[in-house]
């Protein structure tokens, strides 16, 4: 999670959250928290359309892992920080359970496939396809030429 999102949840300014983290560097090793690179920050900025001139962020945000979020509650020692931290941890647990249930479902499907004969192969194949994430094919941006030489190139 990004520092700005966590600051909103904890009800503090982003700079106060970052300041509290910087005062306790031993509590936030690299696997708990890291700062986005300039390229990552530029990509993020273009996605959320922040101003480069006035307003917006001027430095790359910090990203926190699950452990970093847990550590924040000890640094931001407030009643709200504790409650928010509990809810975030519960969300991580729910997410892990969802992922585990998907893995468990795949395992059970494979067991059933081995157990039954080839009559059910079509059904198992369909179920496997339904469990796969959909392919995301991007369409080209702009108008397409109608001439026969290059049909897939956008007009400039």
Per-residue pLDDT reduced to its tens digit, 129-142: 777 766 666 666 66
Confidence check: pLDDT of 54 > 70: no
Confidence check: pLDDT of 107 > 60: yes
Structure token digits, residue 144: 């397409």
> Which has more confidence, 143 or 35?
35
Residue 63 DSSP SS3: strand
In angstroms, rounded to a whole number, what is the distance separating the alpha carbons of residues 76 and 106?
A: 41
Q: Under a CB-based contact definition with an 8 Å cutoff, are residues 41 and 4 in contact? A: no
Structure token digits, residue 145: 């030429």
Cα distances (Å, whole numbers) of residue 130 to 21, 38, 119, 126, 127: 44, 39, 19, 6, 5
In angstroms, rounded to a whole number, what is the distance separating the alpha carbons of residues 18 and 116?
A: 57
């Amino acid at each position: 999670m990004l520092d700005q999102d966590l600051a909103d949840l904890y009800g503090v300014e982003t700079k106060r959250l970052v300041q509290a983290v910087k005062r306790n560097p031993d509590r936030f090793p690299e696997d708990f928290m890291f700062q986005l690179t300039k390229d990552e920050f530029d990509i993020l900025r273009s996605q959320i359309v922040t101003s480069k001139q006035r307003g917006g962020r001027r430095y790359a945000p910090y990203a926190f892992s699950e452990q970093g979020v847990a550590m924040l509650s000890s640094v931001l020692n407030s009643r709200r920080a504790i409650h928010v931290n509990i809810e975030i941890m519960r969300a991580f647990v729910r997410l892990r359970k969802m992922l585990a249930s998907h893995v468990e479902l795949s395992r059970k499907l494979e067991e059933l496939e081995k157990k039954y004969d080839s009559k059910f192969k079509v059904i198992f194949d369909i179920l496997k396809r339904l469990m796969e994430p959909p392919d995301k094919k991007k369409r080209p941006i702009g108008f397409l030429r109608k001439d026969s030489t290059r049909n897939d190139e956008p007009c400039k």
